[in-house]
Amino acid sequence: MLGILLEGSIAVAGAGIGAGIAVLGAGVGIGKIGGSAVESIARQPSETNKIQTAMLISAALIEGVALFAVVVCLLIALG
């Protein structure tokens, strides 16, 4: 009985760590995108609209991957 409980708690702990790593990676990625976009706009102010559009699309894609990773971790924890 205790072995089954320990296996379940290890899965939940692993899923929590995995979700945390996914969110941390997304935060770092979006931070780098934002920093690079601000630097690019400072160098080429006339291209602001194109840079912002590319930045938002990239940030949305990264956020989608992070959300997918968190959902997979939750499914592992609950499954």
Per-residue pLDDT tens for 24-69?
Answer: 999 999 999 999 999 999 999 999 999 999 999 999 999 999 999 9
Q: Does residue 7 lie in a domain region? A: no
Q: Which DSSP category does 44 fall into?
A: -
Q: Which amino acid is at 8?
A: G
pLDDT at 5 over 80: no
The residue among 60, 57, 69, 58 whose CA lies nearest residue 23 is 69
Task: Give a yes or no: residue 2 inside a domain.
Answer: no
pLDDT at 2 over 50: no
Binning pLDDT at 50, 70 and 90, where does residue 75 land? confident
pLDDT of residue 6: 58
| The total number of structural domains that make up the chain | 1
Q: Is residue 19 part of a domain?
A: yes
Q: How far apart are the first and last CA of the chain?
A: 18
Instruction: Kindly tell me if the per-residue pLDDT of 4 is higher than 70.
Output: no
CA within 13 Å, CB half, 64: 6
State whether residue 79 is helix, strand or coil.
coil
User: Which residues does 29 contact at the CB level (< 8 Å), separation at least 6?
Assistant: 62
Which residues form the domain of 46? 15-78
